[in-house]
Amino acid sequence: MKALVENLKATARETNATDIRAAFAADRNRFSRFSTTLGDLLFDYSKCAVNDRILDGLEALAEAAKVEEKRNAMFRGDIINITEGRAVLHTALRNRSNRQILVEGKDVMPDVNAVLDAMGAFADGIRSGALKGATGKKITDVINIGIGGSDLGPVMATLALAPFHDGPRLHFVSNIDGAHIADTLRLIDPETALFVVASKTFTTIETMTNAATARAFIAGKLGEAAVGHHFAAVSTALDKVAAFGIDQKRVFGFWDWVGGRYSIWSAIGLPLMIAIGTENFGRFLDGGHAIDEHFRDAPLRQNIPMLLGLIGFYHRNVLGYPSRAILPYDQRLARFPAYLQQLDMESNGKGVTMDSTPVEFSTGPVVWGEPGTNGQHAFYQLIHQGTDVIPAEFMIAAKGHEKDLRHQHQLLMANCLAQSEALMKGRTLAEAKAQLTSKGMDDAKADKIAPHRVFTGNRPSLTIVYDQLDPFALGRLIALYEHRVFVEGALFNINSFDQWGVELGKELATGLLPVVEGKESAEDHDSSTAGLVAALLKAAR
Ligand SMILES: O=P(O)(O)OC[C@H]1O[C@](O)(CO)[C@@H](O)[C@@H]1O
């Protein structure tokens, strides 16, 4: 692998691949050669620093890393999450073909379908008012209590699918900071509230603490007997849910082969289903499934997740770019960058290979972003003229949902396209100077100002276009990025499906709690931690 990466570096140099502007000038068909479609989904990577030889090299890398074999093992239900001894089968949750998927000899599809049916019946009951609160009132507000993968997916998707939201209002509480639940409880009426406690493990301190606060709130306002009417739970740890006291009929299970950050398709999607209804939720699953079929079957050069992953690896390890910006020109995808941060960084922020040796590559990049056009007025300065090259990933719908605001959508499209064009084309010193002198600036002053107005150009971006942001399109987009993360992880030869890196902080927080409670001394901690504890406790007195 290392040699192949070195070859790619040499090829990039020899073919002057990073001169994207020159590549466009030399080839009128560059867009059609370096873009591909899947239905109404268009993936344009022509503004990346690729050419045929680079793609050949990336294909060789994929072969050497056995990406296709690894992909097949995932779909087959092999135990590919080796550190936790688990299969990785979020694809089974959206397996609309219903073809058999075996985990240790057992077909998981009957259980998947049974939970989906139970979720559907519950969601219908809440939406129609058949399932009421303890005082007989219809549920108007659903509050999801969860964090990480038990929060980010439903939060992101609920906003993304706002035009389809015809069920009760949704709220999300995740942070251990009491401000989060306190501000939410102020907005709701206990008689018409339903809390969904969402936790794969049902041990996460944030979720358990917020759930206990919510439980006390309901018991305090409506009496202990009301609790059963106002709570539901989603978890893989059904025994722990039972201990919390939630009625078994309101508990929706999933399985250890669903990673938290891949769980939006499971019962973790219950709040979304309550918001948009079972039919729309089904379309969302259909979208994910469409990408699964494509990822399994399409040849590499037309395979969008493969290309996304290979280009991601190329940016990181051949061209050395440290981060990637996710820039949806779609306000309703405002939480998509945050969602991808967990998906990508928790999956591929690793330093040890599948063989338990240190990785030989730079693994996952920093993933960040904001929706356009807001980002333009905040951090695009750095993307255009900063000293680091930051590959940008644009996404935009051909049609907005606001028919009478078509003009605003046109402005949105123009801005999106202008940004990728500007990044690629840039502006030379001569062009900058000519622009200034044409406006009457004298030569000497133009010489001083022009360098500040130079854009190097040749800054890579890719663009994803879809018809309209509907449940199917969203399902496709999420699955596309899930598989991209898979491909990059396979190239790095890491386990993308564990998350040991979040453990140490959790352990230390447990140890520090008695210290900040004033029950134990801080003397066993380093002097900074001890000093901070002392300052906080003094100020809190
Ligand atoms: O669903 P749970 O078990 O409460 O975990 C929440 C989140 O915590 C993590 O384990 C670590 O942050 C994530 O992977 C997960 O999505």
Q: What are the DSSP calls for 393-436, one per residue?
A: EEEEESS-S-GGGHHHHHHHHHHHHHHHHHHHH-B-HHHHHHHH
User: What ipTM was assigned to the predicted interfaces of this complex?
Assistant: 0.98
Pairwise CA distance, residues 493 & 527, whole Å: 39
Closest atom of ligand 1 relative to the 150 alpha carbon: 1
Q: Where are the beta strands (DSSP E) in 146-236?
A: 169-173, 193-198, 231-235
The domain at 1-65+298-425+460-498 falls in which architecture?
Answer: 3-Layer(aba) Sandwich (3.40)
212: phi then psi, degrees, rounded to nearest 5: -65, -40
CA distance 534 to 522: 8
Token pair 């439980």: residue: 215
pLDDT at 395: 98
- Examine the residue annotation and report whether 104 is marked as an active-site residue of this protein: no
CA-149 nearest atom, ligand 1: 16
Mutate to test the pocket of ligand 1, among 201, 254, 344, 347 (most ligand atoms within 8 A of CB): 201
Residue 200 CA, ligand 1 centroid: distance in Å: 7
Q: Are 376 and 415 in contact (CB under 8 A)?
A: yes
Question: What CATH number should be reported for the domain whose range is 503-540?
Answer: 1.10.1390.10
68 catalytic per annotation: no
Other C-beta atoms closer than 10 Å to the C-beta of 52 total 11
Q: Please tell me the pTM assigned to this model.
A: 0.97
The closest-lying atom of ligand 1 relative to the alpha carbon of residue 346 is 14
Q: Of 88, 213, 204, which is closest to residue 148 (Cα–Cα)?
A: 204
Selected catalytic residue, list 106, 249, 448, 506: 506
DSSP letter string, 60-101: HHHHHTTHHHHHHHHHHT---BTTTTB---GGGGG-TT----
Write out residues with Cβ below 6 Å of ligand 1: 147-150, 199-201, 204, 207, 260-261, 346, 499, 502
Architecture per CATH, 103-278: 3-Layer(aba) Sandwich (3.40)
Ranges of CATH 3.40.50.10490 domains, the chain = 1-65+298-425+460-498, 103-278
467, 473 Cβ separation under 8 angstroms: yes
pLDDT in tens, the chain (541 residues): 999 999 999 999 999 999 999 999 999 999 999 999 999 999 999 999 999 999 999 999 999 999 999 999 999 999 999 999 999 999 999 999 999 999 989 999 999 999 999 999 999 999 999 999 999 999 999 999 999 999 999 999 999 999 999 999 999 999 999 999 999 999 999 999 999 999 999 999 999 999 999 999 999 999 999 999 999 999 999 889 988 889 889 999 999 999 999 999 999 999 999 999 999 999 999 999 999 999 999 999 999 999 999 999 999 999 999 999 999 999 999 999 999 999 999 999 999 999 999 999 999 999 999 999 999 999 999 999 999 999 999 999 999 999 999 999 999 999 999 999 999 999 999 999 999 999 999 999 999 999 999 999 999 999 999 999 999 999 999 999 999 999 999 999 999 999 999 999 988 999 999 999 999 999 999 999 999 999 999 999 8
Question: What does the pLDDT read at residue 94?
Answer: 98
Count of beta carbons in the 10 Å neighbourhood of residue 429 = 12
* Residue 388 confidence (pLDDT): 96
Q: How far apart are CA 102 and CA 324, in angstroms?
A: 36
Q: With CA atoms as reference, report the closest residue to 155 among 142, 170, 165, 166.
A: 170
The predicted pLDDT at position 185 comes to 98
What does the radius of gyration of the chain's CA atoms come to, in whole angstroms?
A: 25
Q: Where in the chain is CATH 1.10.1390.10?
A: 503-540
**210 CA distance to ligand 1 middle (Å):** 15
**Residue 495 structure tokens:** 């386990």
